[in-house]
DNA sequence: GATGAATGAGTATTCATTCAT
DNA sequence: GATGAATGAATACTCATTCAT
């Protein structure tokens, strides 16, 4: 890695944190270079514009998520577990929560949207492969796999990533997932234990 | 309606158009008052801030959509038709497309997100009522109706409102909808004819 | 005159001085507002852009010059004197010299050029009228008056407004002017006394 | 010519083109080195500053023009033809027009002015020599030759180099030229055929 | 109710130049 | 000779908001 490349990565990491915690629009180039302790010119030496930097930051995030998904796929675990693992990677991992939480603040709408869309695009083929594996093993029975997978990702994202959700949401999600993939009832129920319930509403 | 109230409504309508066509962030107060032919002071006489105006604009949009949904509910048509009608109101009606199209440009992310979320919140109870009616008539068979309904809205929005979709997406959507609500196969297949296929990819 | 109009005139006057003494490109908006003791926003309340302000400043200069020329035309003096008077208004009046001098620094090229061109365009018809008066009185004898007048203005400007000139330049200019207009030798020789010789090189 | 010298000439040529087509002020060092495929440091190895480079570019242009003038002088053609040839070299040759055209855009004011002034300074003695040759042959009859010559150059430049001109402008120019140099009527009328009339307005 | 002059902190971006390697 | 990372002052312009009239 060249000298300049290293610094660029550092800059991306700094911006990544700042974009997440304050939103892209609310993070000024001045603030970034101040935190990075570099000159204005240095910033523009590495990035053509602030927007181009955003693209690179997003790419970086997507790559991370995709990488995690690929690792799950290669693990020696039952197919349903793989699916659950990847589905939960659409939503921020528990560990990262504090920072990623910012992704749902309205000020992050732009970045949030871009990431969500791209992430679904990237994960769909990976997850489809897993589902196909499942159909071969007789665990699932369905056609139009990529469309079904995309739908699962959309549901997972739309249900668990936007504000709060209830225990019933999980139950319904599991039921729906099984039906969408043509699995036997109960196949995916273990998912219940995986959901980060810190965001969950308690029934009143 | 008082004279002042009338003017406020006009302002909201103007802002609504501008927010949609250029995005909230890219529409300045200056541009709004220029189009409305009023003075700066007048604007701030009616709205505490630009953000407050956004809230009112969004409220206005939601009310419209909710109103449309209520009318559908009261129509004398089969339950599945009602559901399809409301589901398709999550997505812009064909007629409005040109203007609402702007809703999916990244620059509208903020407004788009706010509207989407609120709309789902507003439509969920309305649609739930319809579904319950369906269960009583034996058309559907399911529990946790509000959660299931919300999931349908999330899917509909996530599938048909974000860029392009294919014929298979519709097929899978119909299949999933039937399963989520516990309907017999074919119950909802008429939906296929309702989808605005101008956004649809053709299979190659 | 409205309140705002007065302030705009003040701003133009301030900018006029600064553009002349430091050049348009070298005068920043910051410097202008600092000198005018107004806020950034106030500046842009009156002028759409810095360039638009330049246009207005130039217009202001042109109007001044044209006004002076018109006054000369209406004076009750011999025609040749009128011509000499207007010709010398292409070049800065002696009194204004210290400030206008800046017009010939390279940094003022842009403004200088714009002013020169427009001034010639504005003065040509005025001066043409005077020359026509002269032909009627038998002082001049020539056709294509506007073209000849423009040529005189071009010469006057090109000779006396760009750096230094010698006594001989004046002599030749007078001779040429007489010939261009078809005047008798000596008709215009009084011009010699009008030229501001502070810019004149001494013969060595 | 050393290797380094060659590269410098290439750089000058690239800059020359860029300055002409976009203006000196609007051409950044970054753009120059990008086009020249060299590094920042290399640029500053050859030129102390951007301004110094401009001087060298201008010098280059002047030398070209002067060289052309000298060749005309040494040609075996009548004196009036020589004069016409040199006069027309103050203005861009037809062939070069497309590129030099940029010289009259306001953004090029600085460079335009510098070139014009220097060119007149350089051509004055050359043309004066030719005129003196003419007086010896009895074609012209005048004193103060350098001043008269300079005036001709000023007129030629001011009339034909700044935007458009009409047929009458040419007629008047020829008449004036003859009178300035003390030539017989008709001596210079052949000039009419030399003017690039693509810039000429048509009489209506 | 209505006006519009005034504010000033904030923004992204440019660019000629330096210098250690 | 040649590189390109680093600099940082400078720039024009935006915009939501206030307030005296």
Q: How far is CA A59 from CA A3, A93, A110, A203, B48, in A?
A: 21, 18, 14, 38, 39
Q: Which residues of chain D lie closer than 8 angstroms to C150, CB-CB?
A: 159, 169
Answer whether C159 sits within 8 Å of D155, measured CB to CB: no
A154 contact residues in B (CB cutoff 8 A): 154-155, 158-159
Asked if A112's CB is within 8 angstroms of B168's CB, the reply is no
Nucleotide nearest to C33 (CA to C1'): E8
Ranges of CATH 1.10.10.60 domains, chain C: 1-47
In this structure, the number of other CB atoms found within 10 A of the CB of residue D37 comes to 8
Mean pLDDT of A2-12: 83
Pairwise CA distance, residues A97 & D7, whole Å: 57
Place domain A1-47 in its CATH homologous superfamily: Homeodomain-like (1.10.10.60)
Average pLDDT value for chain C:
84
Burial label, B78 (beta-carbon count in 10 A; 0-12, 13-18, 19+): middle
Higher pLDDT, A101 or B200: B200
- At residue B22, the pLDDT reads 82
D128-150: burial string, b at 16+ Cβ within 10 Å, e else: bebbbebbeeebbebebbbbbbb
Q: A91-100, A184-193, B69-78, B131-140: lowest mean pLDDT where?
A: A91-100
pLDDT value of position A201:
64
Cα C102 from Cα D138, distance rounded (Å):
44
Q: Could you report the per-residue pLDDT of C68-101, keeping only the tens digit for each?
A: 899 999 999 999 999 988 887 776 544 344 444 4
> How would you label C33-51 residue by residue, b for 16+ Cβ within 10 Å and e otherwise?
beebebeeeebeebbeebe
B113/A109 CB distance under 8 A: yes
Q: What mean pLDDT comes out for the span D47-67?
A: 90
Q: Looking at residue A200, what is its pLDDT?
A: 65
Averaged over successive runs of 10 residues, the pLDDT of chain B (204 residues) comes to: 77 90 87 94 95 91 87 91 84 44 57 81 93 95 95 89 80 94 92 68 55
Q: Measured from the CB, is B38 under 7 Å from any atom of strand F?
A: no
What pLDDT score was predicted for residue D204?
A: 47
User: What is the pLDDT at residue C25?
Assistant: 85
User: Which nucleotides of strand F are protein-proximal, with an atom < 7 A from a CB?
Assistant: 1-20
pLDDT at A175: 95
pLDDT for D101 equals 45
The structure's pTM equals 0.79
- In chain B, residues 129 through 188 whose Cβ sits under 7 angstroms from any atom of nucleic acid strand F: none
Question: In the prediction, which pLDDT does C187 show?
Answer: 92
The residue-averaged pLDDT of A128-148 equals: 95
pLDDT at D89: 72
Tokens of D27: 């051409």
Res C150: pLDDT: 94
Q: Quick one: which of C149, C199, C196 has its CA closest to C177?
A: C149
B158:A163 CB<8 A: no
Q: Do C151 and D159 touch (CB under 8 A)?
A: yes
Which residues, 6+ apart, have CB-to-CB distance to C157 below 8 Å?
C90, C91, C116, C120, D158
Interface C:A, ≥3 CB–CB pairs < 8 Å? no
DSSP, residue by residue, B45-91: HH-S-HHHHHHHHHHHHHHHHHHHHHHHHHSSS-HHHHHHHHHHHHS
The per-residue pLDDT of chain D, averaged, comes to 84
Query: If you write DSSP's letter for every residue of chain C in order, what string do you get?
Result: --HHHHHHHHHHHHHHHHHHHH-STT--HHHHHHHHT--HHHHHHH-S-HHHHHHHHHHHHHHHHHHHHHHHHHSSS-HHHHHHHHHHHHSPPGGGHHHHGGGGSGGGHHHHHHHHHHHHHHHHHHHHHHHHHHHHTTS---S-HHHHHHHHHHHHHHHHSSS-EEHHHHHHHHHHHHHHHTPPTTTTGGGGGTS-GGGEEPP-
CB of D13 less than 8 A from some CB of C: no
pLDDT at D21: 81
Q: Is A66 on the interface with B (CB under 8 A)?
A: no
A&B contacts, CB < 8 Å = 87
Residue A102, pLDDT > 50, answer no
Nearest Cα residue to C89 out of C126, C42, C129 = C126
Least confident among A81-85, A107-111, B198-202, D145-149: B198-202
Residue D76: partners with Cβ closer than 8 Å, 6 or more residues away: none
Q: How confident is the model at residue D48 (pLDDT cuts 50, 70, 90)?
A: very high
Residue with the bigger pLDDT between A21 and A18: it is: A18
Count of beta carbons in the 10 Å neighbourhood of residue D110:
22
Judge whether B103 and B113 are in contact, CB under 8 Å.
Answer: no
Span D14-23, pLDDT tens digits: 998 898 888 8
Res D31 pLDDT > 50: yes
* pLDDT value, residue C146: 96
- State the pLDDT at residue C107: 62
Q: D195 by DSSP, 3-state: which?
A: coil
Q: How confident is the model at residue C154 (pLDDT cuts 50, 70, 90)?
A: very high
Chains that touch D (3 or more CB pairs under 8 A): C
CATH 1.10.357.10 domain residues, chain C: 49-201
Distance CA A196, CA A193 (A): 8
pLDDT at C165 over 90: no
D165 with D199: CB under 8 angstroms?
A: yes
Whether residue A97 has pLDDT greater than 70? no
Q: Span D66-87, mean pLDDT?
A: 90
* Whole-number distance in Å between B143 CA and E6 C1': 62
Q: Does C172 touch chain D (CB under 8 A)?
A: yes
Q: What is the 3-state secondary structure (H, E, C) of A154-198?
A: HHHHHHHCCCCEEHHHHHHHHHHHHHHHCCCCCCCHHHHHCCCHH
Residue of least CA–C1' distance to F9: A40
Contact at 8 Å (CB) between C127 and C149? yes
pLDDT at residue A198, as a whole number: 63
β-partners of residue B201 are B166
Residue-level length of chain A: 204
Closest to B85 (Cα-Cα) out of B123, B135, B111, B125: B123
Enclosing H/E stretch for B44: helix B40-46
> What is the pLDDT, as a whole number, of residue C57?
93
Yes or no: say if C126 and C90 are a contact pair by the CB < 8 Å rule.
Answer: no
- Chain A interface includes B25 (CB < 8 A): yes
Q: How far apart are CA D109 and CA D102, in angstroms?
A: 10
C201 beta partners: C166
Match 């997003």 to its residue by tokens. A58
3-state percent breakdown (helix, strand, coil) of chain D, nearest 5: 75, 0, 25
Confidence bin at D107 (pLDDT 50/70/90): low
What's the fold here for domain D49-201? Tetracycline Repressor; domain 2 (1.10.357)
Task: For residues D161-170, give the mean pLDDT.
Answer: 81
pLDDT attached to residue C138: 94
Q: Which two tokens stand for residue C143?
A: 């056709």
pLDDT higher than threshold 90 for residue C42: yes
Q: Mean pLDDT throughout C128-138?
A: 95
More confident residue, D33 or C194: D33
CB proximity D172 to C under 8 Å:
yes
pLDDT at C116 over 70: yes
Q: Which of residues 8-37 of A touch strand E (CB under 7 A)?
A: 26-31
pLDDT exceeds cutoff 90 at C114: no
- Any idea which residue has 């809205």 for tokens? B153
Q: Does B26 touch chain A (CB under 8 A)?
A: no
């Amino acid at each position: 890695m060249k000298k300049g490349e290293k610094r660029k990565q550092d800059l991306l990491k700094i911006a990544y944190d700042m974009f997440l915690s304050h939103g892209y629009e609310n993070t000024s180039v001045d603030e970034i270079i101040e935190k990075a302790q570099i000159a204005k010119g240095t910033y523009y030496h590495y990035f053509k514009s602030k927007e181009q930097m955003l693209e690179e930051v997003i790419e970086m995030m997507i790559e991370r998520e995709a990488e995690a998904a690929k690792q799950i796929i290669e693990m020696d675990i039952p197919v349903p577990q793989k699916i659950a693992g990847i589905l939960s990677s659409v939503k921020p991992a528990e560990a990262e929560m504090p920072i990623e939480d910012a992704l749902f603040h309205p000020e992050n709408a732009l970045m949030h949207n871009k990431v969500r869309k791209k992430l679904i695009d990237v994960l769909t083929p990976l997850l489809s492969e897993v589902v196909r594996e499942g159909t071969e093993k007789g665990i699932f029975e369905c056609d139009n796999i990529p469309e079904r997978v995309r739908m699962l990702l959309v549901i997972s994202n739309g249900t668990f990533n936007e504000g709060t959700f209830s225990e019933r949401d999980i139950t319904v999600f599991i039921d729906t997932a099984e039906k969408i993939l043509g699995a036997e009832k109960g196949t995916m129920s273990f998912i219940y234990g995986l959901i980060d319930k810190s965001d969950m509403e308690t029934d009143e």
